Amino acid sequence: MWFPESEPHLLNTYENRITFNSTTGSLFHESVTLNDSGLYVLQGFMPLIMANITLSVLVPVSNVSVSANATDLIEFHDSVSIICSAAGSSMTFHWLNRSSDIKVTDHVQLSDDNRTLTISSVSRYDKGPMYCMVSNAVSNETSKAILFDIKYGPSDLRLTIKPRETAYRTGSDLTLSCYSQSNPPASYQWDFNGKILNQNSSSLILQNVKQNQTGNYTCWAYNNVTLKSASVGRRIDIMELISWVNLTYTGPQPTDNQTFTLNCTVSQKVHSIIWLKDGWPLYPNKRITFSKRNSSVTFSPVQLSDNGIYVCEANNAVSNKTSPEFQLLVNFGPEKPIISGPAIAEAGSGVTLNCTAASQPPSQYTWYFNGTKVTQSPVYKINVLTSANSGLYTCVAFNSVTGRNSSSEEQLTVIDPITRVNINASARQPIQNRTFLLVCEVIGRPRFILWQKERQPLFPNNQIIFSKDNSSVTFSPVQLSDNGIYTCEANNAVSNKTSPEFQLLVNFGPEEPIISGPAIAESGSGVTLNCTAVSQPPRRNNSSKKELRVIAAISSVLVRPSPTIPIQFSNLTLSCDVTGPAVAINWLKEGQPLHLNNTVTLLADNSSIFFSPVQKFDDGSYQCVAISLLSNKTSPAYLVLVNYGPETPVITGPTEIKAGVTVKLTCFAYSQPPSQYYWIFKGEDATIASAQLTIHNPSVLNEGQYTCVARNPLLNITSTATVSLKFVYPSAGPPQVSGGGLTFMILVGFPFLIGWTSR
């Protein structure tokens, strides 16, 4: 209990261990004991309060240790119990294996208070180190580690061979190594094909091996504590290297559509033989068959498609060897010969006839002319041809290996060439609408004659007629459209020749003369008149007339407004004043054709634009274009600037003013021409003829309503806007007024009545 006029009174058991702070209400408790645990209550009277707290005093954890009933154990055979001991109060127990928590499983159990850990049927992974961690609310401590020696194995027995191969060459050195997981380490024994070897280490070394050492090798491992054993085995194959491989054939040479066999002979026994053709594996089919062990391949029958480079590759586990290449070239033919050379030749020239026939080996060739033998060679050449060389030529091809022959025939025709071609015309001149004849004269025997006009083929029609052999062409009648360059081309099988060019120029006319020049001309200008008449040859014995009219030119074009000062929402007329004979008037705005709408219209003759009414967006540069029969003239640009406003002004600036801070108010109103401005303060003219009002060093006297007046000087129209300025006092507040008052202050904690103050 504490009263303002007395000191705290303590019981003897707390004397010198308790300190009470009467200002903060805190209690300091020194040297606490277990008996100091309990409920502490604080009670206050002025003000009335009540609070409590429960204090728990604990003894720190100490002397943590673990003990087991055994540490030497056999895997899957023994069990162990571990007890954790410690001093302290309100303790909890926690177990770790290395750094991982130990969890309860089928073979791991914990006592109710977690003090005892029991592991049944231990495994090698239970060897530890294991720890016991003890803690309470004020401390924690971990025991020293406990380790178990767990005997296990042998298990996971593995056998490795170095070098690692599927089979080994005779003379090789091998090392077989055996390894198992075992505690204590296992002892080892080796056997070969079931026979024990005098080798008791984990490795077996075989040097300079022979073929008779091929067989099964087994490694045995034994643990003399667990009394368990395990074994692992591997087969080792030892083989000789293949020394040679040959590819041969028996019987006659390979001939098309006959059976043929290739044999592969190898020095040693092999696992497999692979046949390759041109570097690619050869596979059997209905025609190609292999012997039982692929030692031979039979083509039944052999064909040209079997031609290629063949090898056989012999393989065993330690080596492979390929035979020398064998080129299979199937004998065939000859097939039907092919004669190359012309079927038609020009007399006086030479000719070469070539005979070729597909054949293996290459054929022998014999030539016959009209059934008579002329040469034995694949080529027959005649240097100078005459008509006597026309006839039937036969080539016979013979294959000495297959005993076969074949022949072909070629007919040769010798023709005289064309030497001269010329165009002759009929005796009279070509005159329009009369018949005219062109004749193609040829020296030689042409097969056909081709006529051309302007280097394009000439075709017959109702007016152009060819003779039966095309040797002449008749124009019936000849027309001006027939004018041009003509040629005729004579052709036969050995030559062609084209005539010199013949120019056909049809005589006609003259037609009625044509006078070229203007029908209308401006006064003061010059004019040129030209007279032409179509005729071949030229003549001047016809006449023609032309009317010429002279008119005045446009001298002046101007745009005139009415009224002269356009005002928004009033009517405006723009008139085009033209001096001279204008037949049409067009209007432009900003250099582009004028667009009409509901408020912009044209009078009937386009001489005026009527704005009803004129608006701000009608501002711009206007021109009118006067057009006469011969020319057009554009007026100077007339600028329309619509007068309006002022619209309602906009005032920008602050609404609060402070002592010592300059204030600027700006007023703006849209207007044409631009507005004039002045300000009114509290109903009185501020005599500021400016859009900006500046207040230097403002005070409370500047507080009030300000009005901006905008005036259009041309239209004498005004518009106003108003803003109110409020004077703001500094943060210390307005000036203090003396007098008395009651002041309350809210403090953190309890409210206190401080008292009265006066100023």
CATH number assigned to the domain comprising residue 216: 2.60.40.10
The four Cα atoms 364, 367, 372, 374 give a dihedral, to 10 degrees, of: -100
How confident is the model at residue 641, as a pLDDT? Answer: 92
Residue 300 is encoded by which pair of tokens?
């039944």
Would residue 34 count as lying in a domain? yes
Note the pLDDT of residue 559.
93
Measuring CA to CA, which residue among 23, 34, 27, 31 is closest to residue 10? 27
Mean pLDDT score, 352-375: 94
The predicted-structure confidence for 63-118, as pLDDT tens digits, reads as follows 999 999 999 999 999 999 999 999 998 899 999 998 899 998 989 999 989 999 99
> Cα–Cα distance between 400 and 359 in angstroms, integer?
10
Q: What pLDDT, on a 0 to 100 scale, did the predictor assign at position 391?
A: 93
Say how many C-beta atoms besides its own lie within 10 A of residue 437's C-beta.
Answer: 18
Quick: pLDDT tens for 699-733.
888 999 999 999 999 888 999 999 999 999 876 55
Handedness of CA 250, 254, 259, 260 (dihedral sign): positive
In a domain, 547, yes or no: no
Instruction: Quote the tokens at residue 11.
Output: 């019981």
d(CA 84, CA 82): 7
Q: For residues 20 and 255, what is the distance between their CA atoms, to the nearest angstrom? A: 129
- Residue 132 has a pLDDT of 95
For residue 53, pLDDT over 90 is answered with yes
Is the pLDDT confidence value at 755 over 80?
A: no
* pTM of the full structure: 0.39
Separation of alpha carbons 308 and 534, rounded Å: 83
Question: DSSP secondary structure string, 73-98?
Answer: EETTT--EEEEEEEESSS-EEEEEET
Q: Binning pLDDT at 50, 70 and 90, where does residue 160 land?
A: very high
Same domain as 255, residue 181 = no
Residues 6+ apart with CB under 8 A from 721: 648, 649, 650, 651, 667, 669, 707, 708
Within-domain flag for 397: yes
Average pLDDT rounded to a whole number, residues 328-350: 92
- Rounded to 5 degrees, φ, ψ at 336 are -60, 125
Let me know if residue 165 belongs to a domain: yes
pLDDT value of residue 163: 92
Confidence category of residue 481, pLDDT binned at 50, 70, 90: very high
Residue 609 maps to a domain? yes
Same domain for 363 and 432? no
605-622: average pLDDT: 92
- Asked if the model's pLDDT at residue 448 lies above 80, the reply is yes
Q: Looking at the structure, tell me whether residues 271 and 292 fall in a common domain.
A: yes
Query: Do 158 and 234 fall into the same domain?
Result: yes
Same domain, 250 and 317: yes
Same domain, 467 and 391: no
Tens digit of pLDDT for each residue in 250-308? 888 899 999 999 999 998 888 899 999 999 999 999 999 999 889 999 999 999 999 99
Q: Amino acid identity, residue 155?
A: S
One-letter amino acid for residue 52 of the chain: N
The tally of CA atoms less than 13 A away on the side-chain side of residue 570 is 13
Q: How confident is the model at residue 734 (pLDDT cuts 50, 70, 90)?
A: low
Supply the pLDDT for residue 2: 52
Residues 136 and 170 in one domain: no
Overall average pLDDT of the 42-52 stretch: 82
pLDDT band at 626 (very low <50, low <70, confident <90, very high): very high
Would the pLDDT of 747 be above 50? no
CB 150 within 8 A of CB 123: yes
Indicate whether 677 pLDDT > 70. yes
Out of 147, 180, 209, a domain closes at: 147
Least confident of 330-344, 468-482, 586-600, 722-736: 722-736
Tokens of 34: 């277990």
Residues 188-242 have pLDDT tens digits of: 999 999 999 988 899 999 999 998 999 999 999 999 999 999 999 999 999 888 8
Query: Do 231 and 272 have their domain in common?
Result: no
More confident residue, 90 or 6: 90
**Which of 392, 415, 438 marks a domain boundary?**
415
pLDDT value at position 530? 86
Burial of 195 per CB tally in 10 Å (0-12, 13-18, 19+): exposed
DSSP H helices in 396-491: none
**pLDDT the model gives residue 93:** 94
pLDDT of residue 429: 83
Q: What is the mean pLDDT of the chain?
A: 88
Is residue 310 in some structural domain?
yes
Res. 44: pLDDT tops 90: no
* Listed residues 118, 147, 176: the one ending a domain: 147
Amino acid letter, 466: F
Whether the predicted pLDDT of 738 surpasses 90: no
Segment 584-609 mean pLDDT: 91
Q: Confidence band (pLDDT; 50, 70, 90) for 605?
A: confident
For a pLDDT cut of 90, what percent of the chain falls above it? 62
Q: Of 84, 95, 92, whose CA–CA distance to 129 is shortest?
A: 95
Residue 388 lies in a domain: yes
Is residue 550 domain-resident?
no
Report the pLDDT value the prediction gives residue 745, as an integer from 0 to 100: 31
Domain of 409, in residue numbers:
338-415
Residues 48 and 81 in one domain: no
Cα-based distances in Å from 343 to 352, 357, 371, 415, 446: 11, 19, 18, 11, 18
| Structural domain count of the chain | 7
Asked if 441 and 472 sit in the same domain, the reply is yes
pLDDT at residue 412 in the model: 92
Same domain, 295 and 255: yes
Q: Among residues of the chain, what percentage have pLDDT more than 70?
A: 94
Q: How confident is the model at residue 17 (pLDDT cuts 50, 70, 90)?
A: confident
Higher pLDDT, 577 or 734: 577
Taking residues 582-592, what's their average pLDDT?
92
Question: Cis omega before residue 510 (within 30°)?
Answer: yes
The maximal CA–CA distance of the chain, rounded, in angstroms, is 170
Indicate whether 500 and 573 sit together in one domain: no
Instruction: Please provide the distance, in angstroms rounded to a whole number, between the alpha carbons at the two ends of the chain.
Output: 42
Is there a cis peptide before residue 430, judged by omega within 30 degrees of 0? no
Cβ within 8 Å of residue 556, ≥6 positions away: 577, 578, 579, 580, 633
